Amino acid sequence: MSVSIRNAVSGALSGKTIGRIIFNEAVRENAPHLSGRVLDIAGGRSPSYSSLLPKEIDLVRTDITASPGVVAVDMNKPLPFGDASFDAVLLFNALYAAENPPALAREIHRILRKGGVWHLASPFIANEMPEPHDYIRYTSEGLTRLCLNAGFSDVVVENMGERATAAAQLLHPFFLFNIVRMLVYPLALLADRLIPRSVLSAHPAPIGYFVKAMK
């Protein structure tokens, strides 16, 4: 996915990290395809991407603890939903907290209807995020294998960002003012575009990956 300089600047002025800006762009590109009943695992009550999801979907929000409009679901246990009960499942930036990712992937496959889609975002180059735990980072190949081994038939993995934006993401604590972010983010995006394709292919270094896995 490609993030415009305009979106980078507006995101910087609102205090977002470059990783969050790129992730939101990935959601924006994929959200129009969502329909029917959608399960959002570990998204909580007010995730940053909520405004990007179609208004007409039947969205089931979940988190480790219940709150108004949010169902309590522990993704480290069998999901409390029937077979083939959802048209899509979202798992954004939480796979690293799963104690047994293959078991979770199989559960997601089970509750999806035939032709359903699993949208997964997972960090690669990022700080540790113990919320409450942080166990693992997957490569593109690892995410593909995770989905295929769970029974998904078609898996597409997209890189989110590259070396320069990954560096900007890691250095975010040093950008104390939004005006600094406004200057750094566009430069990082431009630097990413200068990386040779051979390097991108052989040695990718993204902030994270966005996955679309079809049942």
pLDDT per residue as tens digits for the range 55-102: 999 999 999 999 999 999 999 999 999 999 999 999 999 999 999 999
Q: Is the dihedral of CA 100, 151, 25, 203 positive or negative?
A: positive
Q: How far apart are CA 13 and CA 9, in angstroms?
A: 6
The confidence score (pLDDT) of residue 2 equals 84
Sites in the chain below the pLDDT cut of 70: none
The confidence score (pLDDT) of residue 7 equals 94
The confidence score (pLDDT) of residue 1 equals 72
The confidence score (pLDDT) of residue 66 equals 95
CB-count burial class (<10 Å; 0-12, 13-18, 19+) for 101: buried
Q: Is the dihedral of CA 141, 146, 149, 155 positive or negative?
A: negative
Give every CB contact of residue 187 below 8 A, 6+ residues apart in sequence.
Answer: 164
Q: Map residue 72 onto helix, strand or coil.
A: strand
